[in-house]
Structure 1
Amino acid sequence: MSRIRTLDMEFKDIPPEVLEKVKEVQRIGVAESDASARFLRDLHELKRRHYGLNKDLYKTRSAVMTGLADDLAHEDEVGFQTQFWAVMLRRHRNTRSLCSKLDRKAMYLIHDITVEWAQGFDFSLIFHFPKNKFFQNRVIRKSFFHAKNYEPERYPKVTQVRGDRIVWKKDGKELANLVNGLTAGREGRSFFHWLTRKLSGGTSTTEQGKAKSEMMEADARVGMFIRDNIIPLAMYYHPLAVGSALELGIDCSEFVGTDNEGENGSDGSGSDTETE
């Protein structure tokens, strides 16, 4: 069926030349929407292709940056190298508001973040961990699902976000209590709460539904930011490679330094007192 609205019956008294002009405007609007939709699809496919072409580079980067301190004599002085992903996540303005002090030690263990591209606009972030004392999981997946039918000129609506369940160990009990408390409605924050949170079915018909939809959209924005910015540009902003950014006049002050600043809430996201 034509997407051009039939106006003949609605505007019987409009002169034919005016009616034709209105239809022409509509045709241009539809063509513009189609072009916007193609742009969104092409951009998404370009991101997918770019990631595939650079997977080996990203793998090497994680191996070097999370293992570099192993052979250094003064690991406590350059220990942030083993905390590569935690530094990025805890210090970047778009992700640090998720993090609490209780998250810190477990976040230090992240040794890689990879992307799994699914059908359409769906994707998963996969956080890789070594064997550790906090939880049994070696990978924790955060998946994002989008509507299959959507307005051509708009990014598809998020319909579900799903995080893996963490199997906690004894030493992770305090962090587990924080995550479980937030899931139950307690005020506060935790990166691992974001990582494991499950949301679906939000609608705009009720206040609760609107809140759920907004939360899903917020979760997805963080996920897309990690996928599109932190993963491909992590080294670019890292203290060891900060010169490349400075040469271009980019302000990297929010990234430079060790992660200790987060202890006093000076990472720009406020005090962590609620999670102690």
Structure 2
Amino acid sequence: MNGPSGSTTATQSTTESNVDIKKKQQQEAPTPQNTPIFSAPISRPAATVEDDMETIQTPGTSLLGNNAQLMSMLQGRLGNLVGAPSNYLSTLGPDVRRRVKGLKSLQNKHSVLEADFQKEILALEKKYLALYTPLYEKRAEFISGKAEPTEAEVEDGVSEDEEEGDEEEDDEDKDIEKVEGIPEFWLTALKSHPHFADIITEKDEEALKHLVDIRMSYFDKPGFRLDFEFSPNEFFTNTILTKTYFYQDEPGYGGDFVYDHAEGTKIDWKEGKDMSVTIETKKQRHKGTNKTRVVKKTVPAETFFSFFAPPVAPEDEDDEEEMDEDLDEKLEADYGLGEELKDSVIPRAVDWFTGKALQYQDQGDQYDDDFEYDDEEGSDDNDEDDDDEDDDNELPAKDEKAPECKQQ
């Protein structure tokens, strides 16, 4: 079960998901607009100066321009039409409308099957998580130093590009002081991920060096929980910090589970170690007595640990409609981080630690770069056409080679 395309800073790499971040789902499919997929240019005679002048001086335009109240009323009414269904269905005959109702009946049955499909996917994910868990537990033992890999496991873990230089590296490592486990494993893995690298500060790194494991689990209701286990440290008393993501009980319109909200553990910071705030100190002087006093003000600070204090969407439907874009982006970014941990970081932690996961991500970025995307339609298209005409008239420089044709 994957998340919606997305976050953030969260945001570069985002994983596909079966969960829709939007809580409100459209209950019916949009009415067809009978518009062609490709918009062809419409030929018309070139407008003359006189035609343009007549258009500008059309009766009524000056009235609207001089009547701000009337203009505002018209804009408001036009704004209400945006997103409204067309009247296309009402123009169809009764037999056609009857067939459309039959299609809706089939769609309803399809939606029921889609919901069952998503529930079975969730059950399958739970089944395989139980199979993955012994591997994750053994991984945690290797990282902490509680266990060592067998010779067979070491041999199986050697990739082809590592085989040649292994002997030299082993000789160099003889004089290195022995360490326990794999220090700073999870900190390194998180910093390798672009989304988490953006939110981890230098102060955060000192605390995240004590992160010994990240685990994921499901529960009876749709959703999942992330557990961050820490060794004893100077920053907070919690051993485990938890982040839980809840979905709505029933799938949404497309059959995907709908993200509802998230909850995080309250961090018990030790005195003077709270990374979520900064203490600003200012001196104030009394004008009458000329005495000074020190005023301390607590200001929120950017930190990775804000992940455990997720943004909260308004409960009131009216407030939800007026929810600002900033909060909406924060909710989506927070959800995206949770999905990345569940679907990518935890399953492939060693690949993020070594940087191998970034290679695959870079390949995806290069794949996107192979395609060119047209700019928005409109007046810019004419400018591009003019530029193309100018380019056609330009000859390549003397030493400039013609571009190679990649097609064979």
Query: Please, what TM-score do these two structures have when normalized by structure 1?
Result: 0.69
Question: 2: distance between equivalents of 1:68 and 1:43?
Answer: 35
Partner of 1:48: 126
Match status 1:63 vs 2:141: yes
Of 161, 177, 201, the match for 2:277? 177
- 1:220 matched to 2:335: yes
Q: What do the CA deviations read for 1:170-202 (whole angstroms, capped 9, x no partner)?
A: 4624x24359xxxx884x631111123352435
Deviation at 1:56, TM superposition (A): 1.3
Q: 1:96 to 1:79 in 2, by over 3 A?
A: farther
Q: From the superposition, tell whether residues 65 and 129 of structure 1 become closer, same or farther in structure 2 (CA, over 3 Å).
A: same
Aligned partner of 1:41: which letter? Answer: K
C-alpha displacement at 1:87, in angstroms?
A: 1.4
Distance 1:4 1:229, change over 3 A: closer
Deviation of 1:103 after TM superposition, in Å, equals: 0.6
In the alignment, is the contact (CA less than 8 A) between 1:115 and 1:124 conserved in 2? yes
Partner residue in 1 for 2:262: 161
**Structure 2 residue aligned with 1:234:** 349
Farther-moved stretch of structure 1 (223-232 vs 79-88): 79-88
Q: CA 1:237–1:168 in 2, change beyond 3 Å: closer, same or farther?
A: closer
Alpha-carbon distance between aligned partners in 1 of 2:337 and 2:111, rounded to the nearest angstrom: 26
Match of 2:93 in 1: 14
RMSD: 3.8
AA paired with 1:109? Answer: H
Higher helix share: 1
Q: Which residue of 1 aligns with 2:292?
A: none
Report % sequence identity: 22
- 1:190 maps to a residue whose letter is T
Count how many residue pairs are aligned between Structure 1 and Structure 2: 232
Q: Which residue of 1 aligns with 2:322?
A: 206
Higher relative CO (Cα under 8 Å, sequence separation at least 6) belongs to 2
Shift of 1:147: 2.1
Aligned partners of 2:211 and 2:133: how far apart in 1? Answer: 17
CA distance in structure 2 between the aligned counterparts of 1:4 and 1:92, rounded to whole angstroms: 39
| CA gap 1:228/1:51 in 2 versus in 1, 3 angstroms | same
Paired residue secondary structure (1:232)? coil
| Cα pair 1:237 1:252 within 8 Å, conserved | no
Distance in 2 separating the partners of 1:108 and 1:169: 17
Point out the more displaced range, 162-171 or 210-219. Answer: 210-219
Distance 2:91 2:361 in 1: 61
80-89 or 100-109, which deviates more = 80-89
Aligned equivalents of 1:147, 1:75: Cα separation in 2: 52
Matched residues in 2 for 1:151 and 1:40: separation? 10
Q: 1:65-109, CA deviations, whole angstroms, 9 ceiling, x for partnerless residues?
A: 243899x97469x89931111112122123222211111011111
CA distance in 2, matches of 1:19, 1:200: 40
Determine the C-alpha separation between the residues in 2 that align with 1:96 and 1:218. Answer: 14
Q: Corresponding residue for 1:86?
A: 187
Structure number with greater Rg is: 2
Native 8 Å contact 2:190 2:352 kept in 1: no
TM-score, normalised on structure 2? 0.48
Q: Partners in 1 of 2:234 and 2:101 — Cα distance? A: 66
Consecutive unaligned residues in structure 2, runs of 5 or more: 1-26, 30-88, 149-173, 280-297, 364-408
- Segments of 5+ residues of structure 1 without an aligned counterpart are 254-276
Alpha-carbon contact 1:80-1:87 (below 8 Å) kept: no
Question: Residue 141 of structure 1 aligns with which residue?
Answer: 242
Structure 1 stretch displaced more, 193-202 or 100-109: 193-202
One-letter amino acid matched to 1:177:
V
